[in-house]
Structure 1
Amino acid sequence: MKRYFLISAIILTGTELYSQKAEPLDTIFANEHKNVALFFPQPISQGITGASHFVFTHNRERQQHFGLLQAKPGKESNLLVIDAGGSVYSYILKYKKDLSRLNYFIQDTDRIGTEKRDLPDLFKEVEPIPLDIDTHYRNFCAYLLNKKGRIGRLRKRNQGIILSIENIVFNQNELYFVIQIENGSSLDYDVNFLNLSVKTRQKGKKKSMQSIVKEPIFRYKTPVKIKEGQCARLVYVFPKFSLSNDREVLLELNEEKGERDVVLKVSHRHINNPN
């Protein structure tokens, strides 16, 4: 009799677990502390969130089957994913402080449709539209400006103007520099330019210093004017690079029609060890 009840309990438990797995997935929870991984049947072609406080990243250079999701507190949004085969997946995104699930294995049956119909052979197949890379940069830059985190005390002051690098983040073969410009003076500050260059550190009095300006591939919230008592936070995006021991980065802020210029030196250690 006891054996009968034990077998029945096992069957009921297995049936319950199967029914839980069979339930369609419609909502995915994420937060800013952990990466939530989404695994798809085919490599991901595009992935777009409906709000900047949800960030979905995946490898665009070499398409892979998984992507990573993070979130900041805010209203619910949605995620749209299109895989390499044209299958379309859509989910509701919600922020949750404590996560009970970190991995989602998506099934073919979860798709809501396909990107294109099967066409006769006499029609030429149209290549899928690539993801708007600017949208990806904007979403990730906005996420970094909302995220707490510092790489160290990197700041320089001149006549009340404070230039600082809050964070250097590596993501998908790119370096994101989170920068802050604070105007603690009694006059507005007009920005002429903000350049980042790589210089060979001078060794000895007779040796010259070579400088190469690096052009960002994307700028986010670059200020033109900073009023007195206010600050501006922005992000520069560069292709990933590293430095040898005899090189350093110079972040140069130049004032238009003024002399309150600020030059911030960043050692190779910070560049080679980003967050």
Structure 2
Amino acid sequence: MKRYILTSIISFVFVLTNAQEKIILDTIYANDQKNVALFFPEPIRQGITGSHNFIFTYNRDKEQYFGLLQATPGKESNLLVINKNGAIFSYIVGYKEQLSKLNYFISTNSSIGNEKPNLDVPTISKEDNGVSKSNYYLRACNYLIQRKQSFKNLQKRYEGIELSIKNIVFDKEELYFVVQIKNTSTLDYDLNFLDISIQTKQKGKKKSLQRIYQKPLFIHNRPTRIAENETVRMVYVLPKFSLSNDRRVVIELNENNGERNLELNVSHKYINNPN
């Protein structure tokens, strides 16, 4: 499994994007006689015009990379387009009887931003205050929650409650644990606590288990209740650590005023080889 650092990925994408030719489209003109086609780098998820005299049509049922713009006489307005990957494109649109351009090929660099969190932030030094550090954690956690990655077999089920680890990521000096709780039962699940500990594996019948609680640096999106048929994903940020083969991480989920309690064991291999 490849290891990666979040900020390194974002920095690579930033450099690659800026290496491409940058095309700036300030105003796009259209009329009611011809279709003006806009071709985007990713399929269109949403397109909105600011005035009724401009119409932007695209396939809402099947993903396509282009949309068609038409206009009737009136004041200038704006067009907002969001691609499947969350990239946002914004243009001024105007009416013109004679059109000099009917096709626009939009580059990735023309995007004004992304609706998803962006982790392209400066490296935070040890001298930075707590507010800056918390802000970085928040943005990183939001990013990780939306990633479609998971570890196989890292899950535990009991009485309609499923506890799973979707990702473990190393970044800077921290480990990010992406934890998911799924409630498939007919009763809401009231969360008492979810703790992460390091446990020494038992060796012999007379050996007692030692469990050391790991205090998180930051917790994001931890709920107090998971409704029936609801799935919640949260992130715990811990100081980085590694484990010998006689230790493991234990994720303990405890129900408030209930007995649907789960413990998920995570091998040292996952901790020592995070994403």
TM-score by length of 2: 0.56
Note closer, same or farther for the CA distance 1:147–1:271 as it changes in structure 2 (3 Å cut): same
The answer to whether the 8 Å contact 2:149/2:167 transfers is: yes
Which residues of structure 1 form unaligned runs of 5+?
A: 1-31, 39-71, 78-90, 96-126
Q: Deviations over 1:92-120 (max 9, x none)?
A: 7546xxxxxxxxxxxxxxxxxxxxxxxxx
Structure number with the bigger relative contact order (C-alpha 8 A, sep ≥ 6) is 2
CA distance in 2, matches of 1:196, 1:130: 23
Change (3 A) 1:128 1:138: closer
Partners of 1:202 and 1:191 in 2: CA distance: 28
Q: Within 5 Å, which residues of 2 pair with 1:6-85?
A: 35-36=12-13, 73-76=85-88
* Percent sequence identity over aligned pairs: 50
Contact 1:151 1:274 in 2 (8 A): no
Q: Deviations over 1:25-62 (max 9, x none)?
A: xxxxxxx8983356xxxxxxxxxxxxxxxxxxxxxxxx
CA, structure 1 residues 129+185, in 2 after alignment: closer, same or farther (shift >3 Å)?
closer
Superimposed CA distance per residue, residues 126-180 of structure 1 (whole angstroms, 9 cap, x where no aligned partner):
x998871111111111100111212332000110100000000001111000010
Residues in 1 aligned to 2:138 and 2:178: alpha-carbon distance in whole angstroms: 13
Cα 1:202–1:219 shift into 2, 3 Å: same
Match of 2:150 in 1: 150
Query: 1:128 and 1:196, CA in 2 relative to 1: closer, same or farther beyond 3 A?
Result: closer
Give the C-alpha shift of residue 255 in structure 1.
0.2
- Give the letter aligned to residue 161 of structure 2: I
Q: Return the letter of the residue paired with 1:267.
A: S
The offset of 1:186, in angstroms, is 0.7
Please name the residue that 2:245 is paired with: 245
8 Å contact from structure 2 (residues 137, 218) kept in 1: yes
Cα 1:212/1:164, change in 2 over 3 Å: same
| Cα RMSD (Å) | 2.9
2:220 alignment partner in structure 1: 220
Q: Deviations over 1:238-264 (max 9, x none)?
A: 010000010011000000000000100
Deviations 1:47-93 (A, max 9, x none): xxxxxxxxxxxxxxxxxxxxxxxxx922449xxxxxxxxxxxxx975
Matched residue pairs, number?
169
* CA 197–130 in structure 1, closer or farther in 2 if over 3 Å, else same: closer
- The letter of the residue matching 1:133 is K
